[in-house]
Amino acid sequence: MSDATFTFRVDEALKAEFASVAKAHDRTGAQLLRDFMRDYVAQQQEAQDYDAWLTAKVEQSRASAEAGKLVPAAEVEARFAARRAATRTRLAKTK
């Protein structure tokens, strides 16, 4: 991998403070900026991956609903009421 130069303008006071803080942590400003850039790229990739996963899940759910594979709301409410009751029972036993 070849190195490339990234040039940008920054306020002199911010540059000096950044360099001072970097030095206090035995790092150079360039090392920290590379780390920040890698982290930012990784965060953006995670966000894209999540968006793709969510879109696929939504499409899967729509297709399921269009195929008539639905659970009535009353059944869902009953299932979760039972789960809440079981959780409350477990919590009451631990007290």
Cβ pair 54, 64 in contact under 8 A: no
For the chain, give the longest Cα–Cα distance.
Answer: 64
Q: Is residue 6 part of a domain?
A: no
Print the domain residue range for 52.
12-69
The pLDDT value given to residue 95: 78
Q: Is residue 5 part of a domain?
A: no
Alpha helices in the chain (DSSP H): 12-24, 29-66, 73-94
Look up the pTM and report it. 0.67
- The per-residue pLDDT string of the chain (95 residues; one tens digit each, 9 = 90 and over) reads 688 998 999 999 999 999 999 999 999 999 999 999 999 999 999 999 999 999 999 999 999 999 999 999 999 999 999 999 999 999 999 87
Q: Is residue 27 part of a domain?
A: yes
28 vs 33, 62, 74, CA distance in Å? Answer: 9, 51, 61
Q: Is residue 52 part of a domain?
A: yes
Provide the number of structural domains found in the chain. Answer: 1
Q: Is residue 19 part of a domain?
A: yes
